[in-house]
Amino acid sequence: MRLYIELARKAAQRQLAYRQANLAGLLTNLFFGALRAYTLIALYGVRPQIAGYTLEAAVTYTGLTQAILRPVQIFGWLDLMKTVRTGDIVSDLTKPVDYYLFWLAQDLGANIIHLIVRGVPIMLVYALATPVVWPSGAGGVVAFAISLLLAMLASFAWRFCVNITALWMTDAIGVARLGFTLSMFFSGFIVPVKFFPPWLQAIARATPFPSLIETPVQIWLGILSGPAAVNAILQQAVWLVALMLMGRVMLAAGTRKLVIQGG
């Protein structure tokens, strides 16, 4: 366990070292947040609410999604896939650590930094610029924290599955882009899932992706609270376990093949 904490700490330090990039990223996130907020404000016009979101909640939604997009890595991530291409995966696999946790620890470490240097400032700027909906009470805060952590882990589990396909395909980037596009859309990052027409909502709810964005956001906004929030968090946990199992199985199958190839 100490080893994995150390790996996470190192990844966090590395991420923190990119000061200029972190600042530039923050500005980009804020700019897009503003664009999305104005689009929704125009959409609302004079209407007080759409699909259960008040205008204030919708504006908060744009800020919150921008704040957690990096911690959850909703645009996707190809770092692991790249090591397959460069061959670095061989040395990573021979390290005396669990390969899955090796990546998970580093991912979590870097993403916690994203949460601090991007997530928190974005919400602070939003709070200064516009009325924002905050989680209600200690219960709301705790539920959000748990839900966000599960979202970050589930996102990793999904990204791991996508990246590990590179063990079978020489150039899996196309597949990966397709996978990440799907997850981004159905997570409710671009538009809240609740805005979708019913048939599209049904498709989204059959996937693990709302667990990545929609669930923590709705818990923050109080759209999900009490037993409904607990239920949603349990669903996230179930998806997390399923995706992790899938990743583990794929890893096991893939490395068996890799050993034969490399033998």
Query: Which residue in 197, 227, 260, 263 binds another protein (CB under 8 A)?
Result: 197
Which one of 31, 124, 202, 238 is in contact with another protein (CB under 8 A)? 31
**Part of the chain binding another protein (CB under 8 A), chosen from 39-47, 66-74, 139-147, 227-235:** 39-47
Helix (H, G, I), strand (E, B) or coil at 243: helix
The residue type found at 156 is F
The residue among 14 and 177 lying less far from another protein, judged by its C-beta, is 177
Could you tell me where the DSSP H helices lie in the chain? 2-17, 19-44, 55-68, 79-86, 88-94, 99-114, 120-129, 137-164, 173-186, 198-205, 214-221, 227-262
Q: Which two tokens stand for residue 155?
A: 């996102």
Please report whether residue 35 would count as binding another protein according to CB under 8 A. Answer: yes
38 binds another protein (CB under 8 A): yes
Verify binding: residue 169, another protein, rule CB under 8 A: yes
Identity of the residue, 35 or 120, whose beta carbon is nearer to another protein in the bound complex: 35
Residue 196 vs 239, nearer CB to another protein: 196
Establish if 134 lies at the interface with another protein (CB under 8 A): no
The least distance separating another protein from the CB of residue 45, rounded to whole angstroms, comes to: 7
Comparing CB distances to another protein, the nearer of 10 and 194 is: 194
Pairing of β 53-54 and β 49-50: antiparallel
Where does this chain touch another protein (CB under 8 A) — which range of 23-31, 62-70, 145-153, 248-256?
A: 23-31
Q: How many angstroms separate the CA atoms of 139 and 141, rounded? A: 5
Contact (CB, 8 A) for 235 and 241: no
Tokens of residue 125, six digits: 């700027």
Could you write out the DSSP letters of every residue in 105-129? HHHHHHHHHHIIIIIHHHHHHHHHH
Options 145, 191, 230, 246; binder of another protein; rule CB under 8 A: 191
Using the rule CB under 8 A, which residue among 10, 92, 195, 230 binds another protein? 195
Q: How far is CA 111 from CA 117, 198, 230, in A?
A: 10, 33, 24
Binding residue (CB under 8 A) for another protein from 17, 90, 173, 206: 173
Residues paired with 54 in a beta bridge: 49
Q: What letter does residue 130 receive in the DSSP assignment? A: S
Q: Does 168 bind another protein (CB under 8 A)?
A: no
Which positions lie near another protein, rule CB under 8 A? 20-21, 24-25, 27-28, 31-32, 34-35, 38-39, 41-45, 47, 50-51, 169-178, 180-182, 184-185, 190-191, 195-197, 200
